[in-house]
Amino acid sequence: MSNIGSYDDRYKSFDWGISDAELEFGKNGMFNIGHYCTDRICEKGMADKTALIWQGFSGEIKVFTYNDIRVYSNTFAKFLSDTGIKAGDRVCIFMDKIPELYISFLGILKLGAIAQPLFSAFGEEALITRLDDAKTRAIFTTRKHISKIRRIRTRLPELKRIVVVDAENKPLEADEIAFSMAKALKIEKFEIHKAGPEVPSVLHYTSGTTGKPKGALHVHSSITAQYITTKWVLDVRPDDIYWCTADPGWVTGTSYGIIGPWANGITQCVLDMGFNVEKWYAFIEKHKVSVWYSAPTAIRLLMKEGITAVKKHNTSSLRHLVSVGEPLNAEAVIWSEKAFGLAFHDSYWQTETGAIVITNFPGMKIKPGSMGKAFPGIVATVVDPKTYEPIKTAGTVGLIALKPGWPSMFRDYWNNRETYEGKFKNGWYICGDRSSIDSEGYFWFVGRDDDVINTAGHLVGPFEIESALLEHKAVAESAAVGKPDQINMEVVKAFVALKPGFEPSGDLELDIMNFIRKKLSPLAMPQEIEFVPSLPKTRSGKIMRRLLRAKEWGEEIGDISTLEND
């Protein structure tokens, strides 16, 4: 029997108080996520239980108990406090998936500061945008990534503390601080910031069609949704070994790579390396992974290598498989049944929702290609894109909409209240995705309702790419769109009109690709560049990205009455 039991019964009788009660959320005035992921687990007699098994790409392994992560997160919190960081300050974590990332996250929260994890492959421009917007006060990083910070340091006057967690004896610059988690004086007791459940906890940046990336702000009470969804959707049990492949630079990596599993007191393992089929399977075998939360892109890459690659390893420890990031295609579900004897369960949510909102539950009939059903406590529907009224007819495509009020819902976009308020229409939170609902209540994803590009489960904003492209010496104007990709669902394609004196060439294409990769991130790098004499525009001069995208997807172009040169 799965943790959730009967979905229908749970949905009918659900109350978020169930989660609050299990967590004892608010007991003695405590609402801090840091406490619930460490101290509380130790208080329940699991101090010596393994919380984290970390493996580096060279095979090195480090193991941490719940008492270890309790003490080390205290140590991070005390260190921050000693350096003048206070509750409410934004503290960025910019590093690969090393133990310090996971544990400093909890230390920041224990202090009452706001954790701002950023993907370690971000380039300088992507960093500036996000650190400047958040007015970040401190950053934890490593020697591998410090150069990027150094190059933008003077443009970030609010950044007061740059902390290098692996400095060892290597020289640092004047305003940088070395901090070694392992060597620092261990702090057994730290007075955890006692604030209300609505105190900000995590700031994750996400991309939109227009403007700069937006910081989705979450609060400590998000844990009640992350706890119960981890328990019921990921179906974790006390003896499970759980592996979430997401990077905590993105929301999955914090909600389900830190908060959810540790609030449940289970053992999780982390593999800090790039994608490698053989090594992933070996990792599952070595650590006897039982619950695996991964992404469609990774699953499709595994499919590419075939079932023979799976059969070289003993993956019989696997018990439950879940996927997130972009829609999981039916072929991948069917393949995983053949490869592992288990179907991947697709789950749907986004940075703003903070936790899974629509999903395939363990024990529920899976319809391959469907997103599943709404989580108990979540009122989800599809609404008409013009009236925002719920659509009653099964199979009709509309916008996915959620009734506001679930605990992990974002509370604001940092410095951008207007955009935040614009996400709510007619009493619904509008997710920005299109879907239909069938007669049995299953959601079927159709696509984004805007120009945001979903590549390998990560949202990339076309505006950010186009702005960066314009900084290249050869680019006069540009448009970035998503083009279909078998593995990543979409990849970035750029249409570029060159300045006089520049000619299209393979060299120039590669130069522009690398320019964007370094400036923004590998995800934002156009995988294809099409040089064009000019871009289609409206009569008011706005580039008609929609038209270019439709061409890539082989879709109807739609209304072009406003096209400038029609």
Helix then strand count (H, E) for the chain reads: 18, 27
Q: Are 494 and 515 contacting, i.e. CB atoms less than 8 angstroms apart?
A: no
Smallest separation, CB 59 to another protein (Å): 11
Smallest separation, CB 147 to another protein (Å): 4
Q: Of 376 and 462, which CB lies nearer to another protein in the complex structure?
A: 462
Q: Of 157 and 274, which CB lies nearer to another protein in the complex structure?
A: 274
Smallest separation, CB 124 to another protein (Å): 11
Smallest separation, CB 523 to another protein (Å): 6
Burial of 349 (0-12, 13-18, 19+ CB in 10 A): buried
Concatenating the DSSP letter of every residue in 339-401 gives HHSSPEEEEE--TTT-S--EEPPTTSPP-TT--BEEPTT--EEEE-TTT-PBP-STT--EEEE
Evaluate the CA torsion angle 418, 421, 425, 431 in order and state its sign: positive
Q: Of 289 and 524, which CB lies nearer to another protein in the complex structure?
A: 524
Grouping H, G, I as helix, E, B as strand and the rest as coil, residue 437 is: strand
Smallest separation, CB 302 to another protein (Å): 11
Smallest separation, CB 161 to another protein (Å): 22
What are the angstrom distances between the C-alpha of 152 and each of 144, 148, 183, 545? 15, 7, 29, 31
Q: Of 279 and 411, which CB lies nearer to another protein in the complex structure?
A: 279
Q: Of 57 and 394, which CB lies nearer to another protein in the complex structure?
A: 57
Q: Of 13 and 276, which CB lies nearer to another protein in the complex structure?
A: 276
Q: Of 77 and 512, which CB lies nearer to another protein in the complex structure?
A: 512
| Residue 51 CB partners (closer than 8 Å, separation 6+) | 38, 41, 64, 65, 66, 68, 69, 262, 267, 268
Smallest separation, CB 503 to another protein (Å): 15
Closest CA relative to residue 278, chosen from 312, 303, 243, 321: 312
Record the tokens describing residue 513, joined without a space: 């690709």
Name the site residues for another protein (rule: CB under 8 A): 57, 96, 121, 144, 147-148, 272-279, 301, 304-305, 455-456, 506-507, 509-510, 513-514, 517, 522-523, 525, 527
Q: How far apart are CA 5 and CA 437, in angstroms?
A: 23
Q: Of 56 and 441, which CB lies nearer to another protein in the complex structure?
A: 56
Helix residue ranges per DSSP H, 430-528: 462-469, 506-519
Q: Of 113 and 146, which CB lies nearer to another protein in the complex structure?
A: 146
Q: Give the number of C-alpha atoms closer than 13 A to the C-alpha of residue 302, restricted to the C-beta side.
A: 23
Smallest separation, CB 460 to another protein (Å): 11
Smallest separation, CB 256 to another protein (Å): 21
Q: Of 420 and 502, which CB lies nearer to another protein in the complex structure?
A: 502
Smallest separation, CB 260 to another protein (Å): 25
Q: Are 139 and 131 contacting, i.e. CB atoms less than 8 angstroms apart?
A: yes
| Residue 439 CB partners (closer than 8 Å, separation 6+) | 394, 395
